[in-house]
């Protein structure tokens, strides 16, 4: 394949114009990184020399996964614009799309994934295709330049007279180009540098650079293609970098000589590891500018010229030493060794004189003595083997040490996890710390210790641990989670949000979890603000100098003080609680109640507690229960903090559930009202599910449901709200629990009459919310009781023309009929009969859902199909297909396909109503895949009707079916149905074979045999 790619590459290159992407220096013959850097520096210096007021702004752009985001269709369009052969463009498009990829780990292989974007890694054509894809990203004026080396792109702004607008426009144009070509700019790694030689630069201001609303960081130096470029264009930073790297590798060269490695290996090491570093950027940073711009070169290398000359002399000296070391002459070799030692000693002394810090430790002993003490033979080959054995031994020792430490660390982590689960957080912190002493780079220990520190409210230490975890793995989600919680504990809400938003940026699929975290931050911030306002109100009451005091606040505080008295009569507390409920009118009142320990005053009172637990025989016990429930509702209305605090009381958790079974209707009503307050928000629903006994709650709640009670609406509102949560639906999968909800509803539906239609929508809404769970949906679809109730409700809605409720009911029945079951088959005939009567309804929505239900019921009941055909459903379906409507068309053609599959009368009626099958042929031509596939299936069925195939001789039927038979294999059903219909057409009327041969259709049908089989 690579040989063929090379052939295609040569063809593409020969077809490209000579002026193609002249400033792209990667993947091109006789181009290198030195050319790109030279062009960058040459353009910059030329502009700086033209005038005293000139300066240059350099934008170093970073792309995210540039090669993986190539859009094949856009690439082919650009290739055609360059004049490349159309067939070649189509081959490239096919080459890049529908590529299969799997991941194999050991003996396991992942599922196959189809990829239709990007260029394959390791492909010969990929670099060239990327160059073509980006060739139209060009400078828009002579005052800007765009230099590219693969995806390393630099925008040069050649600024004169402080006019930066052309440069800013160029940046915006490139950003828009990236967006339209699906390339993502990494704003965080994109940097800008300004080269300005004007005097008093501090007096000049540069327009801040923004890309997509985000500021671009300005730097003083940048490493571009391996070379450090600074804003003053001196080579100090780059020279120091090269020297440091070279000295490190020269140390390894000395170690090789110490172990008497052969000179050929030493020379190869020097050439590849040392000389390449020393000479890598010499042409770029020195020679080119010396030849073309000596004055410029002098200006930007003056301060470092002496050091650079010494640097070049050192390169020459080392080269000479290596040549002598590789000499066969023994005396020359010995002298070279002595010269090398002397040169290293001199370098060492010079470094000490300059005050530099040399981290490389060089043996100061006599080389000969050191060599004599070393237990290595003089034979070069043997020395190499000894050296490799030493390396292997050292690596093995390190591996064993690492493994032993890792085992100890893991054991300590397990012990720490056990201590954490038992609530012994201090011990957990100690064990995690001991584990980190074994392995300092173990990410899990940092995050676990941070979690334990948060439990101990040592938030600052937890943040430090999270930062260490991120140093081990910068994309550690758990570290950001714990860091956000620690910042939240310190009331640093903005920083907490930043941590959670960072999680969303790394893993967008965690959006739901991140929303919960952000809600916790919002809740804590709102709670702090509410408590601050409430404390200010309370402070006014305590300050004697304040003349005007809030009457509501004062009355609220007085009521709380009076209710705090123990051992009073139930009537006393009943009146006080009622007054307190009326006194709390806003969020400030709710917060004052919480801050003044209102929950403790009420819930710790023995008299009130006995009434809530239904252990009191006092005549006022019922009234007191009602008053307390009303108070709780007022205190928790729209206040998540109070809702959470209320659920922390065991007496409340038990009392709310048990009071639902109270013989008092007033108590039950207020209890349901309190639950409804919680069920309105997701946070409140989660509190109910996490704190209450769900089994008992549902059973008691549905006992409050009665067809004649005004409590029904609130009960159904609570159940519907809870059904929005996945946790609730998972527990409702138990047959007994599900039946406790569904049975009362189905009984209510069966007993429904014309006067009770307003309650229908509530019942349907609750069941509709429950069947969002796949298990519950399958259970209810098999329930004979449910389908009988639906038919009764359907009849009531039709007879009373209640279209709004009927519309919802049909949608519910469509969702339930997706699974085949005996219950559906038993009621299918009656249900289809009623649906057929609705196909002439004046409401388009009713017609769409009625035909949708028919399309689901027909496959499950041949008897229903036959009866529907006898009642004229084919004519009605054909009429719907002639009218516009995406959903109605999809449902109708599916229902018609089932009719023609089962019933010969349906085929005859269809062919009689549409002799040339114009409607079906239009759907085959214009419809989406599923519609066209079912239409082709109907065409194939109609071929069994005599005379139909002959009537299609002068039509485009063969061409339409052949197009789909030859289509992409991703639409297997459409391709199969079209091939079968085409075969039946030719079999019924052989004269169609002439047209089929003209279109080379026999070959296509032959290729479709595997689909038909």
Region 484-489 average pLDDT: 93
pLDDT > 50? residue 639: yes
Q: Provide φ and ψ at 410, rounded to 5°.
A: -65, -40
Please give the distance of CA 961 from its chain centroid, rounded to a whole number.
41
pLDDT > 60? residue 504: yes
pLDDT band at residue 300 using 50, 70 and 90 as cut-offs? very low
SS3 category, 16: coil
3-state secondary structure 588-634: HHHHHHHHCCHHHHHHCCHHHHHHHCCCCCCCCHHHHHHHHHHHHHH
What pLDDT was estimated at residue 355? 47
Give residue for tokens 């590459």.
Answer: 9
**Contact of 856 with 819, CB cutoff 8 Å:** no
pLDDT digits (tens, 9 = 90+) for 234-287: 878 888 888 888 888 888 878 777 777 777 887 888 888 887 777 766 655 553
What pLDDT was estimated at residue 555? 81
**Contact of 803 with 843, CB cutoff 8 Å:** yes
User: At how many degrees (to 10) do helices 803-816 and 760-770 cross?
Assistant: 20
Q: What is the C-alpha separation between 394 and 117, in angstroms, rounded?
A: 46
| 304: Cβ contacts below 8 Å, ≥ 6 apart | 234, 235, 236, 239
Residue scoring higher pLDDT (420 or 613): 420
The closest alpha carbon to 344, from 423, 254, 409, belongs to 254
pLDDT > 50? residue 192: yes
Residue scoring higher pLDDT (106 or 103): 103
What pLDDT was estimated at residue 689? 92
Q: What is the C-alpha separation between 253 and 265, in angstroms, rounded?
A: 10
pLDDT band at residue 314 using 50, 70 and 90 as cut-offs? low
Q: What is the C-alpha separation between 412 and 938, in angstroms, rounded?
A: 69
**Contact of 964 with 974, CB cutoff 8 Å:** yes
What pLDDT was estimated at residue 347? 66
**Contact of 781 with 825, CB cutoff 8 Å:** no
The closest alpha carbon to 571, from 629, 622, 630, 633, belongs to 622
pLDDT band at residue 549 using 50, 70 and 90 as cut-offs? very low
Region 511-516 average pLDDT: 89
**Contact of 776 with 732, CB cutoff 8 Å:** yes
Q: How far is CA 1000 from CA 119, 872, 958, in A?
A: 34, 40, 11
pLDDT digits (tens, 9 = 90+) for 982-1009: 888 888 888 888 888 887 777 677 666 6
pLDDT band at residue 900 using 50, 70 and 90 as cut-offs? very high
**Contact of 401 with 394, CB cutoff 8 Å:** no
What pLDDT was estimated at residue 326? 58
| 549: Cβ contacts below 8 Å, ≥ 6 apart | 540, 541
Burial 171-207 (b: 16+ CB within 10 A, else e): bebbbeebeebebebebeebbbbbbbbeeeeeeeeee
DSSP 2: H
What pLDDT was estimated at residue 102? 81
SS3 category, 55: strand
Q: What is the C-alpha separation between 548 and 228, in angstroms, rounded?
A: 71
Q: What is the C-alpha separation between 427 and 412, in angstroms, rounded?
A: 11
DSSP 560: H
pLDDT digits (tens, 9 = 90+) for 735-772: 888 888 888 888 888 876 654 566 788 888 889 999 99
Q: Is 141 exposed, middle or buried (0-12, 13-18, 19+ CB in 10 A)?
A: exposed
What pLDDT was estimated at residue 541? 59
| 863: Cβ contacts below 8 Å, ≥ 6 apart | 828, 829
What pLDDT was estimated at residue 254? 80
CA atoms within 13 A on the CB side of 2: 5
The torsion of the CA quartet 146, 149, 154, 160, rounded to 10 degrees, works out to -50
Q: What is the C-alpha separation between 823 and 518, in angstroms, rounded?
A: 46
Q: pLDDT averaged over the chain?
A: 82
pLDDT > 60? residue 371: no
What pLDDT was estimated at residue 478? 93
pLDDT band at residue 532 using 50, 70 and 90 as cut-offs? confident
The closest alpha carbon to 741, from 691, 784, 701, belongs to 701
Copy the structure tokens of residue 80.
């055609």
Q: What is the C-alpha separation between 562 and 596, in angstroms, rounded?
A: 13
Give the helix/strand (H/E) hosting 485: helix 477-489
**Complete DSSP assignment for 242-289:** HHHHHHHHHHHHHHHHHTT--HHHHHHHIIIIIIHHHHTTHIIIIIHH
What pLDDT was estimated at residue 810? 93
Helices (H), 664-773: 665-679, 682-691, 694-703, 712-722, 726-731, 735-750, 760-770
Region 47-59 average pLDDT: 85
Region 662-681 average pLDDT: 91
Region 542-560 average pLDDT: 65
The closest alpha carbon to 866, from 836, 911, 821, 824, belongs to 836
What pLDDT was estimated at residue 609? 87
pLDDT digits (tens, 9 = 90+) for 700-712: 888 888 644 667 8
Q: What is the C-alpha separation between 826 and 958, in angstroms, rounded?
A: 41
pLDDT band at residue 303 using 50, 70 and 90 as cut-offs? very low
Q: What is the C-alpha separation between 443 and 448, in angstroms, rounded?
A: 9
Q: What is the C-alpha separation between 541 and 596, in angstroms, rounded?
A: 13
Give residue for tokens 């790694």.
Answer: 189
Name which of 104-118, 378-392, 744-758 the model is least confident about: 378-392
**Cα first-last separation, the chain:** 32
Strands 184-185, 63-64: pairing is: antiparallel
pLDDT > 60? residue 919: yes
What pLDDT was estimated at residue 76? 85
pLDDT band at residue 232 using 50, 70 and 90 as cut-offs? confident
pLDDT > 50? residue 863: yes
Q: What is the C-alpha separation between 215 and 237, in angstroms, rounded?
A: 26
3-state secondary structure 808-829: HHHHHHHHHCCCCCHHHHHHHH
SS3 category, 839: coil
pLDDT > 60? residue 912: yes
pLDDT > 60? residue 369: no
pLDDT > 80? residue 550: no
Copy the structure tokens of residue 662.
């109270």
**Contact of 237 with 253, CB cutoff 8 Å:** no
DSSP 801: T
Region 888-901 average pLDDT: 92
- 3-state percent helix, strand, coil for the chain, nearest multiple of 5: 70, 5, 25
**Contact of 974 with 931, CB cutoff 8 Å:** no
Q: Is 496 exposed, middle or buried (0-12, 13-18, 19+ CB in 10 A)?
A: buried
């Amino acid at each position: 394949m690579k040989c063929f790619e090379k052939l295609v590459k040569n063809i593409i290159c020969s077809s490209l114009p000579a002026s193609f992407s002249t400033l792209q220096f990667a993947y091109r013959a006789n181009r290198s990184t030195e050319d790109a850097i030279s062009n960058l520096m040459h353009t910059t210096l030329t502009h700086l020399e033209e005038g005293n007021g000139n300066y240059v702004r350099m934008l170093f752009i970073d792309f995210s996964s540039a090669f993986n985001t190539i859009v094949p269709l856009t690439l082919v369009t650009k290739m055609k614009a360059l004049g490349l052969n159309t067939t070649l463009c189509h081959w490239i498009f096919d080459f890049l799309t529908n590529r299969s990829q799997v991941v194999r780990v050991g003996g396991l292989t992942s599922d196959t994934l189809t990829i239709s974007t990007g260029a394959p890694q390791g492909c010969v054509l990929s670099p060239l295709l990327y160059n073509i894809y980006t060739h139209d990203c060009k400078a828009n004026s002579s005052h800007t330049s765009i230099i590219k080396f693969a995806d390393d792109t630099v925008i040069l702004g050649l600024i004169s007279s402080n006019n930066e607008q052309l440069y800013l426009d160029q940046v915006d144009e490139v950003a828009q180009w990236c967006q339209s070509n699906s390339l993502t700019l990494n704003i965080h790694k994109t940097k800008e540098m300004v080269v300005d030689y004007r005097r008093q630069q501090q007096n000049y201001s540069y327009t801040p650079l923004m890309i997509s609303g985000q500021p671009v960081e300005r730097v003083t130096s940048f490493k571009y293609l391996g070379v450090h470029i600074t804003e003053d264009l001196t080579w100090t930073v780059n020279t120091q970098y090269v020297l440091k790297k070279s000295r490190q590798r020269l140390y390894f060269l000395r170690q090789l000589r110490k172990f008497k490695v052969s000179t050929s290996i030493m020379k190869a090491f020097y050439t590849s590891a040392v000389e390449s570093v020393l000479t890598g950027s010499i042409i770029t940073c020195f020679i080119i500018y010396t030849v073309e711009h000596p004055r410029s070169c002098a200006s930007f290398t003056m301060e470092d010229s002496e050091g650079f000359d010494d640097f070049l002399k050192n390169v020459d000296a080392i080269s000479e030493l290596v040549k002598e070391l590789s000499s066969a002459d023994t005396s020359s070799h010995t002298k070279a060794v002595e010269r090398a030692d002397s040169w290293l000693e001199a370098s060492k002394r010079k470094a000490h004189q300059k005050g530099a810090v040399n981290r490389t430790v060089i043996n100061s002993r006599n080389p000969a003595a050191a060599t004599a003490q070393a237990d290595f033979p003089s034979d070069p080959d043997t020395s190499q083997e000894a050296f490799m054995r030493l390396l292997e031994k050292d690596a093995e020792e390190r591996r064993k040490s690492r493994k032993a430490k890792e085992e100890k660390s893991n054991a300590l982590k397990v012990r720490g996890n056990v201590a954490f689960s038992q609530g012994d957080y201090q011990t957990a912190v100690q064990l995690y710390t001991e584990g980190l002493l074994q392995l300092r780079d173990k990410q899990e220990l940092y995050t676990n210790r941070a979690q334990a520190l948060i439990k101990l409210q040592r938030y600052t230490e937890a943040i430090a641990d999270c930062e260490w975890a991120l140093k081990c793995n910068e994309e550690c989600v758990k570290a950001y989670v714990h860091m956000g919680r620690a910042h939240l504990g310190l009331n640093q809400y903005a920083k907490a949000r930043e941590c959670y938003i960072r999680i969303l940026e790394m893993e967008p699929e965690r959006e739901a979890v991140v929303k919960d975290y952000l809600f916790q931050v919002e809740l804590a911030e709102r709670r702090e603000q509410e408590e601050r306002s409430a404390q200010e109100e309370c402070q006014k009451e305590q300050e004697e100098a304040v003349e005007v005091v809030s009457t509501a606040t004062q009355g609220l505080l007085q009521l709380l003080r009076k209710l705090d008295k123990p051992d009073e009569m139930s009537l006393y507390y009943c009146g006080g609680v009622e007054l307190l409920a009326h006194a709390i009118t806003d969020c400030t009142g709710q917060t004052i109640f919480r801050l003044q320990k209102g929950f403790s005053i009420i819930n710790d009172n023995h008299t009130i507690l006995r009434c809530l637990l239904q252990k009191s025989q006092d005549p006022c016990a019922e009234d007191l229960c009602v008053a307390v429930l009303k108070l709780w509702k007022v205190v928790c209305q729209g206040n998540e903090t109070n809702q959470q605090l209320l659920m922390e009381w065991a007496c409340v958790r038990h009392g709310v559930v048990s009071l639902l079974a109270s013989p008092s209707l007033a108590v039950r009503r207020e209890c349901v009202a309190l639950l409804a307050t919680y069920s309105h928000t997701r946070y409140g629903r989660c509190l109910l599910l996490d704190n209450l006994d769900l089994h008992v709650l549902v059973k008691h709640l549905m006992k409050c449901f009665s067809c004649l009670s005004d409590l029904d609406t609130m009960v159904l509102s609570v159940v519907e709200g809870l059904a929005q949560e996945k946790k609730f639906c998972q527990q409702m999968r138990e047959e007994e629990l599900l039946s406790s909800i569904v049975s009362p509803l189905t009984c209510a539906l069966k007993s429904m009459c014309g006067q009770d239609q307003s309650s229908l929508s509530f019942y349907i809404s609750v069941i509709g919310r429950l069947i969002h769970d796949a298990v519950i949906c399958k259970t209810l679809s098999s329930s004979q009781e449910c389908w009988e109730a639906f038919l009764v409700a359907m009849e009531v809605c039709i007879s009373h023309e209640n279209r709004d409720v009927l519309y919802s009911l049909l949608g519910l029945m469509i969702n339930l009929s997706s699974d085949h079951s005996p219950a559906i088959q038993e009621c299918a005939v009656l249900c289809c009969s009623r649906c057929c009567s609705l196909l002439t309804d004046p409401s388009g929505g009713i017609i769409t859902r009625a035909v949708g239900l028919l399309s689901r019921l027909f496959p499950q009941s041949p008897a229903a199909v036959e009866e529907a055909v006898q009642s004229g459903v084919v004519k009605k379906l054909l009429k719907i297909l002639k009218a516009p409507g995406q959903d109605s068309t999809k449902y109708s053609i599916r229902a018609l396909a089932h009719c023609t599959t089962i019933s010969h009368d349906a085929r005859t009626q269809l062919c009689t109503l549409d002799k040339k099958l114009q409607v079906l042929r239009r759907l085959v031509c214009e419809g989406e895949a599923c519609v066209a596939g079912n239409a082709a299936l109907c065409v194939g069925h109609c071929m069994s009707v005599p005379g139909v195939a002959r009537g299609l001789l002068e039509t485009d039927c063969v061409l339409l079916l052949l197009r789909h038979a030859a289509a992409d294999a991703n639409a297997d059903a459409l391709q199969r149905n079209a091939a079968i219909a085409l075969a039946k057409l030719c079999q019924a009327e052989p004269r169609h074979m002439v047209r089929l041969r003209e279109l080379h259709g026999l070959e296509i049908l032959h290729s479709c045999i595997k689909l038909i089989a």
